[in-house]
Amino acid sequence: MSFEYDDQNIFAKILRGEIPNSTVLETEHSLAFHDIAAQAPVHVLVIPKGAYVTYDHFIAEASDAEIVDFNRAIGEVCRLMKLSGADTDGGFRIIANAGAHALQEVPHLHMHVLGGRPLGLLLDRG
């Protein structure tokens, strides 16, 4: 399996500091920031700093340290945004789109962390 990474994608530019972002959390291997077009009261994107296109690419090629860091960052974002544990009674959703069928817009792995309101069905019926 091979994955081609386009280093001109918008999240690569964010990681290089070429365009600004509203950072929620930065760790050794991950960055979390607010989505520019939030679809819920909480809409944070968590990305690995490494050059991975999709979740399957990440799991196939990332180091254990990167995978642990990324997953812990997602959990920490949920905690920081008061979506998890004793802070919430509402819960949250995490989604990673991959490829054309999932309408992935930015070809750098990102986990959407969504919450703060009822989120409706996971998929539309189309």
The residues assigned a catalytic role are 110
Nearer to ligand 5GP, 37 or 86 (CB): 37
**Binding of residue 97 to ligand 5GP (CB under 6 A):** yes
**Binding of residue 103 to ligand 5GP (CB under 6 A):** yes
Considering only the stretches 30-38, 51-59, 60-68, 79-87, report the one whose residues sit in contact with ligand 5GP under the rule CB under 6 A: 30-38
Which secondary structure element, helix H or strand E, spans residue 80, and what is its range?
Answer: helix 64-80
3-state helix, strand, coil in the chain (%, to 5): 25, 20, 55
- Residues between 47 and 86 with contacts to ligand 5GP, criterion CB under 6 A: none
Which residues does 118 contact at the CB level (< 8 Å), separation at least 6? Answer: 90
Q: Shortest gap between Cβ of 77 and ligand 5GP (angstroms)?
A: 14
C-alpha to C-alpha distance for 90 and 14, rounded to whole angstroms? 31
